[in-house]
């Protein structure tokens, strides 16, 4: 079973600024719903790179491993995340538009067991809401006053 959730956001920053912010793992707890820690700390996303984040949901925490399947600094990032019975493929596409960036975030969730299929069917609307909040926070972070265009880039800041 697969479900796809698509979220679109316009940023008042150029695509390279949005991508540079996303590539710096230490930024993720600032915007990603429930993420409280990342590994490696100080990490910078590159094609083929791997890592994890710790997500807190209610009183419990879970660690999700990810791989960078594709990264084009000009506007595309694809992550594959293992979420215990569900694989998420997160695609980010950035296009220059109106002096900023039109971003499309596409999360495709694939359930691998009966239990995961039932959870996915029941919680897809909740997942969509979580993603909307995540990308709204990302927009606020990227557009915050004082964030340089290459925020998060090694050596920038």
Q: Do the domain assignments include residue 154? A: no
Q: Do the domain assignments include residue 157? A: no
In degrees to the nearest 10, what's the CA dihedral of 22, 25, 31, 35?
140
Give the other-Cβ count within 10 Å of 52's Cβ: 18
CATH number, position 49: 3.30.530.20
Across the chain, mean pLDDT equals: 89
Round to whole Å and give the CA distance between 112 and 119: 11
Round to whole Å and give the CA distance between 124 and 25: 26
User: Which tens digits make up the pLDDT trace of 79-111?
Assistant: 999 887 889 999 999 999 989 999 999 999 999
pLDDT value, residue 17: 93
Relative to beta strand 86-97, strand 76-82 is antiparallel
Q: Do the domain assignments include residue 69? A: yes
> Does 78 have pLDDT greater than 60?
yes
Q: How confident is the model at residue 156 (pLDDT cuts 50, 70, 90)?
A: very low
Q: Do the domain assignments include residue 147? A: no
Q: Do the domain assignments include residue 148? A: no
User: Which tens digits make up the pLDDT trace of 102-150?
Assistant: 999 999 999 999 988 988 888 877 788 888 899 999 999 999 987 655 5
Per the structure, the complete domain to which residue 105 belongs is given by: 2-142
pTM for the structure as a whole? 0.85
Describe the strand order of the beta sheet including 50-57 as a list of residue ranges: 2-11, 100-111, 86-97, 76-82, 60-72, 50-57, 35-39
Q: Please, which residues bridge with residue 89 across strands?
A: 80, 108
Number of domains in the chain: 1
Round to whole Å and give the CA distance between 4 and 65: 20
């Amino acid at each position: 079973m697969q479900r796809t959730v698509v979220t679109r956001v316009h940023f008042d920053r150029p695509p390279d600024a949005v991508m540079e912010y996303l590539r710096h793992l230490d930024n993720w707890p600032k915007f990603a719903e429930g993420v409280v820690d990342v590994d490696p700390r100080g990490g910078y996303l590159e094609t083929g790179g791997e890592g994890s984040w710790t997500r807190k949901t209610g009183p419990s925490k879970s660690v999700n491993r990810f791989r960078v399947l594709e990264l084009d600094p000009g506007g595309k990032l694809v992550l594959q995340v293992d979420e215990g019975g569900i694989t998420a493929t997160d695609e980010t596409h950035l296009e220059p538009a109106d002096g900023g960036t039109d971003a499309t975030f596409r999360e495709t969730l694939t359930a691998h067991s009966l239990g995961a299929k039932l959870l996915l069917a029941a919680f897809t609307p909740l997942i969509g809401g979580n993603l909307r909040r995540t990308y709204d926070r990302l927009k606020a972070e990227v557009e915050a006053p004082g964030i340089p265009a290459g925020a998060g880039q090694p050596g920038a800041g």
